[in-house]
Structure 1
Amino acid sequence: MLERSVRRGSTGLIMRPQELLLLLMLRWAGAQMEDPAFPHLGDSSQPLLRACPWRCSCPRDDTVDCAGLGLSVFPDNITKAARHLSLQNNQLQELPYNELSRLSGLRTLDLHSNLISSEGLPDEAFESLTQLEHFYVAHNKLSVAPQFLPPSLRVADLAANEVVEIFPLTFGEKPELRSVYLHNNRLNNTGLPPTTFLGSEAITTLSLSSNQLSYLPPSLPSSLERLHLQNNLISKVPRGALSLQTRLRELYLQHNQLTDSGLDATTFSKLSSLEYLDLSHNQLTAVPEGLPGTLTILHLGRNCIQQVEAVRLHRARGLRYLLLQHNELGASALPAGTLRPLRALHTLHLYGNRLERVPPALPRHLKALVMPHNRVAVLGARDLVSARALAELNLAYNRLASARVHPGAFRRLRALRSLDLAGNQLSRLPEGLPPSLRSLKLQRNQLRALEPELLAGLNKLQELSLAHNRLRVGDIEPGTWHELQALQVLDLSHNELSFVPPDLPEALEELHLQANRISHVGPEAFLSTPHLRALFLRANRLHMTSIAAEAFLGLAHLRVVDTAENPEQVLVQLPPKNRGALTPKG
Structure 2
Amino acid sequence: MASPLSALLLLALLALPAARDAAQDRVDDGGGYEDEEGEAVEEGEGVLPSPGQRQGSCPSSCTCSPDGAVECAGAGLDSFPASLPADTQLLSLQNNQIEVVPIAALKRVPLLRTLNLQNNLITSAGLPADGFMVLKELQYLYLANNKLTQTPGSLPASLVSADLAANFLTAISPGTFGGKPDLRSVYLHNNRLTNAGIPRDAFLGSDAVETLILSSNSLTRAPLGLPPALQRLHLRNNKLHSLSGGAFDQLRDLRELYLQHNQLNDRSVDAKTFTHSRRLEYLDLSSNNLTLVPRGLPARLVILHLERNAIAALDSQGLGRLRSLEYLLVHSNRVRAHAVGAAAFRNLRRLHTLHLYSNELNRVPRSLPAHIKVLMLLHNTIHEIRAQDFAATPELAELNLSFNRLSTKRLHPRAFTRLSKLASLDLTGNQLTHVPVGLPASLEVLRIQQNHVAVLGNGALSGLPALRELMLSDNALASKTIAPNIWAQLPSLTTLDLSSNALTVVPSSLPASLEYLYLQNNRINSIPEGAFSTTPNIKGIFLRYNRLPPHVKDMFMGLEELQVLDLTGNFDGTPEPGADDGEGGDGEGGDGDEEEGMGNPQKELPQRRRAVERGTSVPRPQKT
Regarding TM over 0.5, the answer is: yes
Instruction: Confirm whether residue 143 of structure 1 aligns to residue 136 of structure 2.
Output: no
Secondary structure at 2:486's aligned position in 1? coil
Secondary structure at 1:262's aligned position in 2? coil
1:54 pairs with one of 48, 53, 59: 59
Distance in structure 2 (CA, Å) of the matches to 1:46 and 1:153? 20
Q: Which residue of 1 aligns with 2:262?
A: 256
Q: Which residue of 2 aligns with 1:300?
A: 306
Distance in structure 2 (CA, Å) of the matches to 1:238 and 1:291? 14
Secondary structure at 2:280's aligned position in 1? coil
2:562 pairs with one of 553, 558, 562: 558
Contact 2:292–2:313 under 8 Å retained in 1:
yes
Distance in structure 1 (CA, Å) of the matches to 2:307 and 2:240? 17
How far did 1:334 drift? 1.2
Q: How does 1:323-472 map to 2 (within 5 A)?
A: 323-472=329-478
How far did 1:561 drift? 1.6
How far did 1:211 drift? 1.1
- Worse-superposed segment, 355-364 or 566-575: 566-575
Q: Which residue of 1 aligns with 2:598?
A: 577
Distance in structure 2 (CA, Å) of the matches to 1:385 and 1:571? 57
How far did 1:140 drift? 0.9
2:280 pairs with one of 259, 264, 274: 274
* % identical equivalent positions: 47
Contact 1:53–1:75 under 8 Å retained in 2:
no
Q: Show structure 1 runs of 5+ residues with no match.
A: 1-43
C-alpha distance 171-502 of structure 1, shift in aligned 2 (>3 A)? same
Q: Which residue of 2 aligns with 1:15?
A: none
Q: Which residue of 1 aligns with 2:95?
A: 89
One-letter amino acid matched to 1:268? F
Q: Which residue of 2 aligns with 1:485?
A: 491
- Worse-superposed segment, 191-200 or 177-186: 191-200
C-alpha distance 532-104 of structure 1, shift in aligned 2 (>3 A)? closer
Distance in structure 1 (CA, Å) of the matches to 2:128 and 2:405? 66
Distance in structure 2 (CA, Å) of the matches to 1:488 and 1:45? 66
Instruction: Confirm whether residue 242 of structure 1 aligns to residue 267 of structure 2.
Output: no
Distance in structure 1 (CA, Å) of the matches to 2:455 and 2:438? 17
How far did 1:570 drift? 6.1
Q: How does 1:112-123 map to 2 (within 5 A)?
A: 112-123=118-129
Distance in structure 2 (CA, Å) of the matches to 1:325 and 1:207? 26
- Worse-superposed segment, 334-343 or 58-67: 58-67
1:534 pairs with one of 540, 547, 559: 540
Secondary structure at 1:218's aligned position in 2? coil
Instruction: Confirm whether residue 64 of structure 1 aligns to residue 64 of structure 2.
Output: no
Contact 1:337–1:360 under 8 Å retained in 2:
no
C-alpha distance 577-210 of structure 1, shift in aligned 2 (>3 A)? farther
Distance in structure 2 (CA, Å) of the matches to 1:54 and 1:102? 14
- The higher radius of gyration belongs to 1
Secondary structure at 1:577's aligned position in 2? coil
How far did 1:358 drift? 1.4
Distance in structure 1 (CA, Å) of the matches to 2:573 and 2:135? 74
Secondary structure at 1:482's aligned position in 2? helix
One-letter amino acid matched to 1:569? T
Q: Which residue of 1 aligns with 2:167?
A: 161
Q: Which residue of 2 aligns with 1:310?
A: 316
Secondary structure at 1:119's aligned position in 2? helix
How far did 1:235 drift? 1.4
Distance in structure 2 (CA, Å) of the matches to 1:46 and 1:455? 74
C-alpha distance 479-337 of structure 1, shift in aligned 2 (>3 A)? farther
Distance in structure 2 (CA, Å) of the matches to 1:311 and 1:431? 39
One-letter amino acid matched to 1:552? F
Contact 2:55–2:87 under 8 Å retained in 1:
no
Which string of whole-angstrom CA distances, capped at 9 and with x for unpartnered residues, describes residues 482-530 of structure 1? 2200101100111111111221222111111111111122333222222
Distance in structure 2 (CA, Å) of the matches to 1:48 and 1:180? 32
C-alpha distance 313-482 of structure 1, shift in aligned 2 (>3 A)? same
C-alpha distance 158-519 of structure 1, shift in aligned 2 (>3 A)? same
Q: Which residue of 2 aligns with 1:134?
A: 140
Q: Which residue of 2 aligns with 1:41?
A: none
Which string of whole-angstrom CA distances, capped at 9 and with x for unpartnered residues, describes residues 326-350 of structure 1? 0011231312221121100110011
Secondary structure at 2:125's aligned position in 1? coil
Distance in structure 1 (CA, Å) of the matches to 2:371 and 2:50? 69
Distance in structure 2 (CA, Å) of the matches to 1:561 and 1:102? 63
Secondary structure at 2:417's aligned position in 1? coil
One-letter amino acid matched to 1:405? L
Distance in structure 1 (CA, Å) of the matches to 2:108 and 2:466? 70
Secondary structure at 1:464's aligned position in 2? strand
C-alpha distance 261-45 of structure 1, shift in aligned 2 (>3 A)? closer
One-letter amino acid matched to 2:608? T
Instruction: Confirm whether residue 543 of structure 1 aligns to residue 568 of structure 2.
Output: no
Which string of whole-angstrom CA distances, capped at 9 and with x for unpartnered residues, describes residues 236-264 of structure 1? 11320001111111111111111111111
Which string of whole-angstrom CA distances, capped at 9 and with x for unpartnered residues, describes residues 275-312 of structure 1? 11111111111111111111110011111100012111
C-alpha distance 81-502 of structure 1, shift in aligned 2 (>3 A)? closer
Distance in structure 2 (CA, Å) of the matches to 1:554 and 1:46? 68
One-letter amino acid matched to 1:425? Q
C-alpha distance 353-45 of structure 1, shift in aligned 2 (>3 A)? closer
How far did 1:440 drift? 0.2
Secondary structure at 2:257's aligned position in 1? strand
How far did 1:548 drift? 6.2
C-alpha distance 170-48 of structure 1, shift in aligned 2 (>3 A)? closer
How far did 1:478 drift? 3.1
Q: Which residue of 2 aligns with 1:568?
A: 573
Aligned length: 541
Distance in structure 1 (CA, Å) of the matches to 2:54 and 2:109? 18
C-alpha distance 85-478 of structure 1, shift in aligned 2 (>3 A)? closer
How far did 1:413 drift? 0.6
Contact 2:84–2:108 under 8 Å retained in 1:
no
Secondary structure at 2:162's aligned position in 1? strand
- Worse-superposed segment, 134-143 or 447-456: 447-456
TM-score, normalised by the number of residues in structure 2:
0.83
Contact 1:376–1:398 under 8 Å retained in 2:
yes
How far did 1:179 drift? 0.4
C-alpha distance 432-103 of structure 1, shift in aligned 2 (>3 A)? same
One-letter amino acid matched to 2:170? V
Secondary structure at 1:490's aligned position in 2? strand
Distance in structure 2 (CA, Å) of the matches to 1:338 and 1:490? 40
